[in-house]
Chain A
Amino acid sequence: MSASKSRDVTLVEAVNMALAWEMEHDESVVVLGEDIATNGGVFRATAGLKDRFGFKRVMDTPLAENLIAGTAIGMATQGLKPVAEFQFMGFIYSAMEQIVSHASRMRNRTRGRLHCPLVYRAPFGGGIHAPEHHSESTEALFAHIPGLRVVIPSSPQRAYGLLLAAIRNPDPVIFLEPKRIYRAVTQSVENNGDALPLDTCFTLREGSDLTLISWGASIMETLEAADLLAEQSVSCEVIDVGTISPLDRETLLCSVTKTGRAVIVHEACRNGGVSAEIAASIAEGAYLELKAPVIRVTGYDTVMPYYRNEQAYLPQVEDIVEAAKRVIAL
């Protein structure tokens, strides 16, 4: 198998490629989670890893999310680099105590003596007709916690490069994979082990009238909205935030300083969402350049509906276009 051959892959295949690359090149990388070894993961993100790297490095755990999070912490303090999978973000909550009270704090608590070079992966977001608890976007819960990085890829290339960066990062990373676009598109990804930078926004498209800011699966609708707006002579800059915490305010502020307008799009409900932090940062840092209020296009402040109504909850292209037209008119 040629290691650096470029091929067209989906986002979930890119996750698999990154895991395999790093396991091949760093013996301290281990993966653990429910149904990830023999079965290869319910979304196939870890398919083939057990056969290549053996059960000592690819571990099926008992069905206990809190245990998975805490076990990864113990392993990390021993110099391993665990990549732990939570089957769905909706089941991560029993692990919150381990993540919030220990993974994020171990380095600080011991003044650098011990640290947690680990990655917690979880598929998140709606739109796949899944049962209850399989569709939420609660990334803001983690963005609020000091000591954590929260990274969200929105394309196969960024999934590959950001996951490599997350594994190599010496601190804990929450890596949230937008499962709605796990297989939505393929993209040519060179399997060369090149990581992408964390803590940095990705400017996907340059524009002059308006900055559209998003992350995860909503990037798809955001790009489509930018296309439609371009047809109407509205030039949109599109930014994929990539790492929602710590936030790359500089790129966001530079863009808004240029365009004077911003619309922030995310699937998660609005109240206390990461869009609020971004909007506040823009208000603090680019107030004089703003030509219109910052507008948010988000999910509603209600429970994620079961799948018959999930599209009614998720931000749609027309919602983004409508919001963009509103700020352009001001």
Chain B
Amino acid sequence: MRKLHEFSVDSVRYLDDHGAPFGELPRQAEDTERVLAAYRNMVLTRTFDSKAIALQRTGKCGTYPSVLGHEVTGTAIGQSMAQSDVFVPYYRDQATHILRGVSLTELLLYWGGDERGSAWQNCPEDLPISVPIATQCCHAVGVAAAMRIRGEARAVVCSIGDGGTSKGDFAESINLAGAWHLPVVFMVINNQWAISTPRSVQTGAKTIAQKAIGAGLPGHVVDGNDYFAVIEALDHALERARAGKGGAVIEAVTYRLGDHTTADDATRYRSTDDLKRAWEKDGLKRLQSYLHTAGLWNPDRETRLQAECKAKVNEAVEAYLATEPEPPTAMMDTLFETLPDALKPQRDRIADKYRGGGL
């Protein structure tokens, strides 16, 4: 008998639950400005998140998916990407969108029921939020194939949750990435929960990352609450991808600290003890502790940052609430490049019905 292939999957973490390094940190720790920028984005994201939930609770925003517990992974994605790379998101990527140049007002417009929330001008090639689970994976390989056809040194990051990896779209897409040697990094944010369904029900595989091996890609597991582990894996995978060395799957293990969305109540299916233990591993607090110990942070700076983030979010909320809805005719106006003659009577009907304005 001959052994044709063998593999192992390592799990990487650098900081303990309290932010103390186990040993030597990766080179990413030397760029203290970048580390501090990461922390600031995590705090801004969390501030935005709690405000968005409050807006929903008071009837000023639609159903909203909390990003609590995803601040580290989302921020690391945003930092690792060059502006010329393309981000193909799922729907819990607020931390990344902010770094890509999507405004907080646009994020609120999207979840507040306005299509203009996806008309991103600062990252015009990024794909919009994708609600149907895992479907974005196929777009990611298409974007990466276009880059490869044109011989560009660019790459794609595609985010997806642990539940999404059970879908054919994920399997088909990582398979194509391997077969065509595409510059795409699949970032699986394993937050343990697909609404109420735990990770253990999604797959019998020990790790999600090992699915990459079957597709001919490297697969890595990192602690998704450890900024250094996540950013190192992403930097490395993206450098490889841009250099024409193919794609990768990174499984970042974290925990969804909030409900699935504002329409969900997670107390129905998970224990408060579990949640309490997950909070003890919170990646934002962990990085904050690290920064304090490293002498890069202090209570004054924290107070100033909190105030800055609140001001930014409040300004975005004001702009969002002051944005007039589109006229109802807008529902027809970007369906096609040019509205077909057959649809013009319907557009006219809408225009006549709402001549004085929207509802």
Q: How many residues of B contact A (CB 8 A)?
A: 42
Query: Does A80 lie within 8 Å of B146, measured CB to CB?
Result: yes
Nearest chain A CB to B143 CB, angstrom units: 4
Q: Which residues of chain B (221-236) have a CB below 8 Å from chain A?
A: none
Given A67-B172, A113-B120, also A75-B127 (CB < 8 A):
no
Q: How far is the CA of A27 from the CA of B335 in the complex (A)?
A: 26
Q: Tell me the total A-B contact number using a CB cutoff of 8 A.
A: 139
- List residues of chain B with CB within 8 A of the CB of A199: 340-342
Query: Does A101 lie within 8 Å of B142, measured CB to CB?
Result: no
Contact of B127 among A30, A59, A108, A114 (CB under 8 A): A114
Query: Does A62 lie within 8 Å of B341, measured CB to CB?
Result: no
A residues within 8 Å of B by Cβ? Answer: 30, 56-57, 59, 61-62, 64, 66-67, 69-80, 82, 94, 97-98, 101-102, 106-115, 146-147, 170-171, 199, 246-250
Q: How far is the CA of A97 from the CA of B172 in the complex (A)?
A: 14
Given A61-B176, A74-B143, A80-B146, also A114-B128 (CB < 8 A):
yes
Query: Does A249 lie within 8 Å of B147, measured CB to CB?
Result: no
Query: Does A57 lie within 8 Å of B138, measured CB to CB?
Result: no
- List residues of chain B with CB within 8 A of the CB of A248: 341-342
B residues within 8 Å of A by Cβ? Answer: 86, 88, 115-116, 118-121, 124-125, 127-128, 130, 132, 135, 137-147, 149, 168-169, 172-173, 175-176, 179, 334-337, 340-343
- List residues of chain A with CB within 8 A of the CB of B120: 110, 113
Nearest chain A CB to B170 CB, angstrom units: 11
Query: Does B337 lie within 8 Å of A115, measured CB to CB?
Result: yes
Query: Does A108 lie within 8 Å of B176, measured CB to CB?
Result: no
Closest to A95 in B: B138
Nearest chain A CB to B108 CB, angstrom units: 16
Nearest chain B CB to A64 CB, angstrom units: 4
Query: Does A170 lie within 8 Å of B337, measured CB to CB?
Result: yes
Given A62-B179, A75-B142, also A70-B149 (CB < 8 A):
no
Contact of B139 among A74, A80, A109 (CB under 8 A): A74
Query: Does A97 lie within 8 Å of B132, measured CB to CB?
Result: yes
Beyond A102-B135, A106-B128, list 18 extra A-B contacts (CB 8 Å).
A61-B176, A62-B176, A66-B168, A67-B141, A70-B142, A70-B169, A70-B173, A71-B138, A71-B139, A73-B142, A74-B140, A77-B139, A78-B146, A94-B168, A109-B115, A110-B120, A112-B334, A246-B343
